Every structure is written in structure tokens, then in C-alpha cells.
């Protein structure tokens, strides 16, 4: 099980995966609104999403855990 941390601070604009989804490197996990831009945040690993820890509208800081992946 691995924790996926947010790469930069911002507000969650869209969550593109849900528990049970298989993910692969390069796949968009969520869209972050930050620095007045919509910044996609891509997966670096393979796995299955176990838990999504954030909701749309949440502020997340760099390093905060956003997903749990198996």
C-alpha cells in the first residue's frame, strides 16, 4: 500500500479516479487549481486506488496525502 502525496499546494478542482480504479504512470489523478491555473496531477506508479482522501474544493498542501494506492 502506498500513499500518494500532492506535489504542490492548491485547491482540488476535479478528482478523476475513484476507489477500485486501476491506475498507471502518466494517468491524470486529479486536477489542482493553483496559481490561477488548472494543473493536472499525474500518477507515477501502477496500482489500484484504495481510497481517495480529498474532495473537490479542499485545499491541499504540498506533501499532503491525496490517495491511497495498492
Partner 1 sequence: MATKGEELKAIREKVLQMGPERHRKRVKEQGKLLCRERLQMLLDPDPVIEDYLLANCLEEELAADGVVTVLGKINGRDVAVMANDFTVKAGSWGERTVEKIVRLQETAMKLRIPIIYLVDSAGIRITDQIFVFPGRRHAGRIFHLQALMSGMIPQICVLCGPSAAGGAYMPTFCDIIIMVDKIGSMYLGSPRLAEVTIGEKVSLEEMGGSRMHCSVSGLGDVFVETEEEALQMVKDYLSYFPQHCFEKPPVYEPAEPEKPIDDIEKVIPENQNVPFDMYEVIWRIIDKGSWFEMKKLWAQEVITGFARLNGKPIGIIANQPKVKGGVLFVDSADKACRFIRLCDAFNIPLLYLCDVPGFMIGSKVEREGILRHGAKMLYAVSEATVPKVSVIVRKAYGAGLYAMCGPSHEPDACLALPTAMVAVMGPEAAVNAVYYNKIMELKDPKEQMKFRMEKQEEYKKDVDIYKLAANLIVEDMVEPHELRKELIKRFLFYENKPRELRYPKRHGVMQV
Nearest distance from C-beta of residue 10 to partner 1, angstroms: 9
Closest to partner 1 by CB, 9 or 50: 9
Nearest distance from C-beta of residue 7 to partner 1, angstroms: 6
What is the grid cell recorded at 60? 491541499
Estimate to the nearest angstrom the gap between the alpha carbon of 48 and the chain centroid: 13
Q: What is the x/- site pattern for partner 1, positions 1-40, by CB under 8 A?
A: ------xxx------------------------xxxxxxx
Q: Residues 59, 1: contact at Cβ < 8 Å?
A: no
Amino acid at each position: 500500500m502506498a500513499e500518494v502525496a500532492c506535489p504542490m499546494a492548491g485547491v482540488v478542482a476535479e478528482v478523476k479516479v475513484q476507489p477500485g480504479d486501476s491506475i498507471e504512470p502518466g494517468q491524470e489523478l486529479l486536477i489542482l487549481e493553483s496559481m490561477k491555473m488548472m494543473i493536472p496531477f499525474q500518477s507515477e506508479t501502477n496500482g489500484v486506488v484504495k481510497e481517495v482522501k480529498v474532495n473537490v474544493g479542499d485545499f491541499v498542501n504540498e506533501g499532503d496525502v491525496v490517495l491511497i494506492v495498492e
